[in-house]
A and B are shown apart, each in its own frame.
Chain A
């Protein structure tokens, strides 16, 4: 493999790993914020316990999201300095906004939420999770401002030394950004919904003592995922129309040919169709509280369906990014021209290092998530302890 291919593969693996973690955290944060609001406003003990149990899984997953995100931020500088050099005035600035306006606040308040569980008063603690959730959305938005510009460069004009920002409003309201933003939010809620329903189904299938806890959680998962699926269908359909208008070469890759972009699109559509029909069944079955705790074959299906949203998310993303090739900024800068001047030895070194670290991260995350999920919620009388 040459330097370009290695650098692309390295970025794809980094961004792909990051996206897997982020899709769950973004959705689960929303679910948690609502659960904790019910726990706090309604003084509901079961919702407080739910916040704790799902919060633990959320935190584990979030940690991995941060770590892969760090590598992504640094990799842009390491491997793709041509992109920041050419389009830094737009792409670099929106990534700077992401780190400062969104991530800085998000991570600080996440620390307060995790470790301040019995130190903050309950309203301040509730406010912390909402700050985390809203800044996570802001973070997704700013990243998609950069990404949307790479798909559909508007609001900038060529200057003597790369692109210059000419119309900030056009950059911030880029349709490629906004539609992807809503699509990612919907997809994240689908991911969280299937995750919550699947883990709950595992406990119900095993007949662990927490029937009410997981019966309710399962219903929450199902009733979050179903409307979110509709949302992702609508936003996805609108994106396809937009692609036909603004990225004809990506549309061609989608509608014909045999490339990776088309394979990604088809896999995404298949995963979506499977989830869509399955969700109809889920909603019908979840209407009966008795069926929720007794329908064992359904539980098995719910557990097996946990990976489906991930498949859809990752393959949809492959379609979006591979379909843009050979451009890094559509029509203006090729991926090859964006590559830093790095030696093959340097890129091999970083490739092996990061892929090795990621393999360990994903394995540790999967193992920790599975262990925590199996362990179940703490008994209602358990003393408070730090959520680490």
Chain B
């Protein structure tokens, strides 16, 4: 019972990461498309930055739950996917440095870091998910099916990023986001790409062998209730973030 609940929590945090983190990763991928000059790109980055901290914690929590609740599964996945995870984490760092530093120094270099980092993060995830979807959990998968599935996941990240940009931007960058993301309205588009992107980790997770990989019952009976107890606080912080930063980012008039 606690094991099932732990697996459900794991799925919840993983899905949360792909929906929320995927949004700012996708917008980062589309940075050169959405913003054609320095001021526009600054606007696009300004649309992401209030969210990226609150988004990436979902992945940290997912990894934490994996280590704490399913150590055997963690050992299998991490050693099998070693090179992809190294690339993922390195690209994640490069992207975040770009986001942090853009308003402080070297904006052009930071834009490159954000764009390249976001594509690499999305690519690493696409490869990992495609491998899991084809049933490979103990190594880096290859082959045409993996390449095809991976390309689809990368495209999903990009589309989801555009729909997030549609929620957050105004002016020309907003028009560009809308042109690709469709005519159904910004919120509906975001909901649609969110659902589609959420399906990817859920389908991949269904391939994982949770049974038998879980931590000891004595541990789970402490860990799972503790996580459930703090869950409302975690979600309140997330809701507050979305409420405080609900307004679109206007075109910067006299950007410093």
A residues at B contact (CB < 8 Å)? 60, 63, 66-67, 70-71, 73-74, 76-78, 81, 84-85, 88-90, 92-101, 103-105, 107-112, 114-116, 119-120, 159, 164-166, 168, 340-342, 346, 349-350, 353-354, 357, 360-361, 364, 367-368, 371-372, 385-386, 388
Contact = CB atoms under 8 A, between A and B. Distances in A.
Nearest to B88: A74
Given A70-B93, A92-B67, A388 B75 contact: no
Contacts of A361: 93, 97
B63 interface: yes
B48 to A, nearest CB: 11
Contacts of B256: 385
B79 interface: yes
Q: Is the interface of B mostly helix, strand, loop or mixed?
A: helix
B100 A388 contact: yes
B238 interface: yes
A111 B54 CA distance: 7
Contact of B78 (A63, A78, A96): A78
B105 A96 contact: no
B86 A100 contact: no
Given A89-B219, A93-B222, A108-B237, 11 more contacts: A67-B97, A70-B92, A71-B89, A77-B66, A78-B86, A81-B79, A88-B68, A111-B51, A115-B50, A168-B218, A368-B104
Interface of B: 46, 49-54, 56-58, 60-61, 63-69, 71-72, 74-75, 77-79, 82-83, 85-87, 89-90, 92-94, 96-97, 100-105, 215-216, 218-219, 222-223, 226-227, 230, 233-234, 237-238, 240-241, 244-245, 256
Given A88-B215, A89-B218, A74 B53 contact: no
Contacts of A88: 67-68, 71-72, 74, 215, 219
B75 A107 contact: no
B105 to A, nearest CB: 7
A104 B60 contact: yes
A112 B244 contact: yes
Contact of B244 (A94, A116, A350): A116
B61 A100 contact: yes
Closest A-B pairs by Cβ, 5 of them: A96-B68, A99-B64, A88-B71, A77-B78, A81-B75
Contacts of B89: 70-71, 74, 354
Given A71-B93, A119-B244, A353-B90, A108 B53 contact: yes
Contacts of B93: 67, 70-71, 357, 361
Contact of A112 (B86, B104, B240): B240
A77 B75 contact: yes
11 contacts: A63-B96, A73-B63, A74-B85, A92-B68, A95-B68, A99-B61, A103-B60, A105-B234, A107-B57, A357-B90, A386-B46
A108 B50 CA distance: 10
Contact of A67 (B49, B86, B96): B96
A4 to B, nearest CB: 15
A103 B90 CA distance: 20
Given A93-B215, A364-B101, A340 B78 contact: yes
> A89, A96, A386 — which one has the most chain B CB atoms within 10 A of its CB?
A96
A118 B56 CA distance: 24
A349 B83 contact: yes
Contacts of A354: 86, 89-90
A103 B227 CA distance: 13
A92 B96 contact: no
Nearest to B93: A67
Contacts of A111: 50-54, 241
Contact of B54 (A77, A107, A165, A349): A107
Nearest to B238: A108
Given A81-B78, A88-B71, A97-B68, A349 B86 contact: yes
Contacts of B237: 104-105, 108-109, 112
